[in-house]
């Protein structure tokens, strides 16, 4: 929403938003190692990791680099699937 408003207020400035999804970062690992008593939702984070739904940081970096290196930037890049 912020990017949409910003692009309408400043139409001559390109606005880019990159949402890679759930990335397997050290923060995710820290969360998965948290006690359930301290963080009741920890089981959801563990399940996401065990199911293989987390994206590798390297995959995110490769995709972002690809978009950055495009000679002509599309107005919208949209994907419904993980990277």
pTM (two decimals):
0.70
In this structure, are residues 67 and 19 in contact, taking their beta carbons and an 8 Å threshold? no
What is the pLDDT, as a whole number, of residue 77?
Answer: 55
Q: What is the pLDDT along the chain (83 residues), one digit of tens a residue?
A: 888 898 899 988 878 788 888 999 999 999 999 999 999 999 999 999 999 999 999 999 998 888 888 877 666 555 555 55
Q: Distance (Å, rounded) from C-alpha 14 to C-alpha 17?
A: 10
What is the pLDDT, as a whole number, of residue 82?
Answer: 53
Q: Distance (Å, rounded) from C-alpha 72 to C-alpha 69?
A: 9
- Structure token pair of residue 8: 């309408």
Q: What is the DSSP letter of 55?
A: B
What is the pLDDT, as a whole number, of residue 39?
Answer: 97
């Amino acid at each position: 929403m912020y990017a949409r408003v910003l692009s309408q207020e400043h139409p001559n400035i390109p606005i880019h938003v990159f949402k890679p999804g759930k990335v397997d970062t050290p923060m995710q690992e820290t969360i998965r190692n948290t006690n359930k008593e301290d963080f009741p939702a920890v089981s959801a984070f563990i399940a996401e990791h065990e199911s293989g739904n987390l994206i590798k940081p390297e995959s995110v970096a490769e995709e972002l680099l690809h978009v950055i290196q495009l000679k002509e930037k599309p107005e919208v890049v949209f994907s419904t699937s993980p990277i």
